[in-house]
Structure 1
Amino acid sequence: MPEMRFSIRWPDGRRERCYSPSLIVKDYFEPGQSYEISDFLAKSREALNIASQRVEARYGRPCSLALGQLARIEDTGQHFLTLPDARVLVEAFDE
């Protein structure tokens, strides 16, 4: 199963390198594009849950790395939900 990493920049300028056990993230994000925080969280939730389900279908258990990554994204993203015009930039895909 091809895995990938993708680099993001949070509204406060902090960069994070994220993990996905599947290339599904490419269906949800585009490098160089910024996303409103709630949209970014929703897309991340959907993409990483699908990625984890793909791992489960193949190996019989969900992907703890994908679910852990999603938890970190959700936790960090919660801090920006009340900021007007907060956006997350997807900088690059690192396959």
Structure 2
Amino acid sequence: MIFAFGLPSGSEWFWIFVVVFLLFGAKKLPELARGLGKALGEFHKAKEEFEKEVREASKVQTEETVSKGSPFPTPEGTVPRIADKEESSKGGV
């Protein structure tokens, strides 16, 4: 038998809300929602800062690689690039 796990549907959300309401009461629900909202806001802010740092690190690494040239030597026996052929033809070789 295969079970599919996913988000609750309409009637399941109703029963979840009823259970939460019974456990915490009407006075605590606004406090819980406020705390959940703040937590989600902090999570979103931290995620954006992390993504920004990753992009900046990637940009710096790319700039260093471009300025230094390729860190890997060209393997022997490879097909020369078109630019290499043009340079050799200009040099008269």
Same fold (TM over 0.5): no
More helix by share: 2
Which structure has more relative contact order (CA 8 Å, sep 6+)? It is: 1
Q: TM-score, normalised on structure 2?
A: 0.29
Q: TM-score, normalised on structure 1?
A: 0.29
Larger Cα-atom Rg: 2
More strand by share: 1
